[in-house]
Amino acid sequence: MKPHEFIIISQGDVAGLGWHLWMKVLKKPADFFSASQIQNFRNIITVGFLFENDEPFIHKNFLVVETPPDLKPGAYRKWRAQFKSVLLDPRRKKPVFLSLRKERAYIPGKEDALIALKSYRAFMTSLRLWDILPVSSLVTLPVSKEMIMKAGISFSGHTRVIEDFTGHRAFMCMYHPTLSVMVLTEHIPLASVSEKIYQTDFQSLGKALFFFRNLFHPKNNFAMTGLNPHAGEHGRIGDEEKFLEYHLKNLQKAGIEIDGLFPADGIFGRDQRKNYSLVVAQYHDQGLIPFKALVGLSGLNITLNQPRLRVSPDHGTAYSMVEKNEGNPVSIIKAVQFAMRHTQKWIHTYSSL
């Protein structure tokens, strides 16, 4: 990474698995990263709260910088000038921890709405920082949607908040070099999927697919599933496929190499999936169950159709695993490595479309 490129890491739920795995990695980074990748740690900014539990570790492993909880427009220039001078110090070898505030201890592995609320605040501050630093990527550690909503925040996930923040229609994509999955609808009740599909912005979907091909240069075509079993059987068990086929043909006419519609129970079989680099699925579990079964912890969650990169590990808070001191950091490691490789390339590819 170049000196002006930054990776912003949102702390996530400190009682959950992601934060504890990231701390585990930073205790012995040489076990997980190459020497050249460790040099890039000076370009990493972790945004979060300084909890009592973690204070000794953070002061040992980070350069701690305090900042107001909100990056308000009025304080923008003064704050940015102060922050920039810290970040561009060539003598600095440690990553930055941007401390929003000191907090009392938390209980690892215990769900807590107040802790979840702080994870939401850390994420929102990370978004503002992502906006301020022109060549940056965002890595979001897992949060609990349930606990954030319990704290009184309307929150359906990182992807939708990012969409509202940037004003660009966002698409969730589970990425792996051999097979990726996009979903047209995400964290909504299954009963609402059919209605939501009719609201899909297919122009933005086409742009996202163009971007994916230009960024990753996959060797195979894309595929799209039907919504109903057996892709509707020509209207016998559902007619949503007529709507999808119309827009699929328009995508093809626009030059996107996408085939379909395929029954979802067959496209992920070994003989079919080897012909496709990405599958556009209709709803969350239709795409994510086979993806997670096939690639395990090696998958990443990226947000397509955004001017800058956002990536997260492909797992949740998993509180019970924290209590048992379990968990594998491979997905977090891959997320950070992905950001190291693609921060600038992502911006350049998006701006060239």
Give the per-residue pLDDT at 296. 84
- Residues spanned by the domain of 285: 169-305
> Which of 275, 290, 305 marks a domain boundary?
305
| One domain, residues 176 and 132 | no
Strand partners, 304: 171
For 233, residues 6+ apart whose C-beta sits below 8 A from its C-beta are: none
Distance, in Å, from the CA atom of 279 to the CA atom of 282, rounded to the nearest integer, reads: 10
Residue count of the chain, please give it: 353
| One domain, residues 311 and 259 | no
Per-residue pLDDT of 238-249, as tens digits, reads 889 999 999 999
pLDDT at 69 over 70: no
| One domain, residues 6 and 89 | yes
248: its two tokens: 């699929």
80 domain-assigned:
yes
350 domain-assigned:
no
Give the per-residue pLDDT at 78. 60
| One domain, residues 120 and 21 | yes
65 domain-assigned:
yes
pLDDT at 83 over 80: no
On whether the CB atoms of residues 187 and 284 are closer than 8 A, the answer is yes
Give the HSE-up count for residue 296: Cα atoms under 13 Å, Cβ half-sphere: 6
| One domain, residues 286 and 334 | no
353 domain-assigned:
no
Q: Exposed, middle or buried: residue 221 (CB in 10 Å: 0-12, 13-18, 19+)?
A: middle
Q: What is the pTM of this model?
A: 0.92
26 domain-assigned:
yes
| One domain, residues 134 and 278 | no
Q: Domain containing 199 — which CATH number?
A: 3.40.718.10
| One domain, residues 65 and 118 | yes
| One domain, residues 173 and 26 | no
| One domain, residues 135 and 200 | no
62 domain-assigned:
yes
351 domain-assigned:
no
352 domain-assigned:
no
3-state secondary structure of 294: helix
| One domain, residues 42 and 121 | yes
| One domain, residues 317 and 244 | no
Mean pLDDT of the chain: 90
Q: Exposed, middle or buried: residue 234 (CB in 10 Å: 0-12, 13-18, 19+)?
A: exposed
| One domain, residues 301 and 254 | yes
Confidence band, pLDDT 50/70/90 cuts, at residue 136: very high
Per-residue pLDDT of 195-221, as tens digits, reads 999 999 999 999 999 999 999 999 999
349: its two tokens: 């590819």
193: its two tokens: 């999927």
Distance, in Å, from the CA atom of 335 to the CA atom of 7, rounded to the nearest integer, reads: 10
Give the per-residue pLDDT at 1. 82
Per-residue pLDDT of 117-130, as tens digits, reads 999 999 999 999 89
On whether the CB atoms of residues 292 and 314 are closer than 8 A, the answer is yes
For the segment 316-330, the average pLDDT, to the nearest whole number, is: 88
Give the per-residue pLDDT at 350. 95
**11-to-40, 54, 93, 241 alpha-carbon distances in Å:** 19, 12, 20, 41
Question: How many structural domains are present in the chain?
Answer: 2
For the segment 310-325, the average pLDDT, to the nearest whole number, is: 89
